[in-house]
Amino acid sequence: MKGKAVLSVRDLTVGYGTPLVSGIDLTVKPGEIIGIIGASGIGKTTLLRTFAGLVPPMGGQLDANFAHRGEVGYIPQRLGLFRHASLEHNVGLGTRATPRTPPNGWRKAYQWRAKITREAIEAMGLTDKTREPVRRLSGGQQRRTATARTLAQRPSLILADEFLSELDVENVEMVFTAILRLVEEDRTALVLVEHDVERALRYCTRVFKVQDGTLTPVSGGEEE
């Protein structure tokens, strides 16, 4: 992959008081999809939250080359949706965090945000649920709503924690097709925590495993 790294870590240690994963060396480049696998409770989520700037590293170096905080999109396991607001409102919040500059003038800016929101909802197959309060959606529909919100944000890096869980095979394909389109069109990078090893190997450029307190390559090599 060519281009300046969007995320680079060297000898990184992550954890909460006690180290969970140490000695992490990883470079993520534009358009790259990184999969992280491993057993539950072993530190995958903590690693992703550290990449997102939500947990301070315990040691080492973490460099993220972003001029705007909105260049990082984070899809957590707990989705952070406003349950009493509509699906459309939740997805539209992504356009408020986007690093992209809207057109001048409130009317043009409104139309621009509405278009991006509509396209993200369509990409997730949720057009018929646009006005529905999030609390009335199924778990899988809520997960697609959170993904649509991140699509509307158009970040340079997406950090996704088990974002394909609760989805059936058909919806997994639809969601990942939309993500891959963003990767290809915008050179967006994706770091994905995934419990399904076969799925990670299928979709990801490189796959790493958290095991015995380290991050080791499974496929694609350590660096490219």
Domain coordinates in residue numbering, the chain: 1-66+156-224, 84-154
- Maximum distance among all Cα pairs of the chain, rounded to whole angstroms: 54
3-state helix, strand, coil in the chain (%, to 5): 40, 25, 35
Give this prediction's pTM: 0.86
Q: What is the mean pLDDT of the chain?
A: 88
100: number of Cβ within 10 Å = 14
**Token pair in block for residue 196:** 């399904």
Q: What is the pLDDT of residues 156-201, one digit of tens each?
A: 899 999 888 878 888 888 888 888 888 888 898 999 999 888 888 9
Which tens digits make up the pLDDT trace of 104-144?
788 888 888 999 999 999 999 999 999 999 999 998 899 89
- CA neighbor of 217 nearest in space, from 88, 24, 22, 53: 24
Position 24: which residue type? I
Fold exhibited by the domain 1-66+156-224: Rossmann fold (3.40.50)
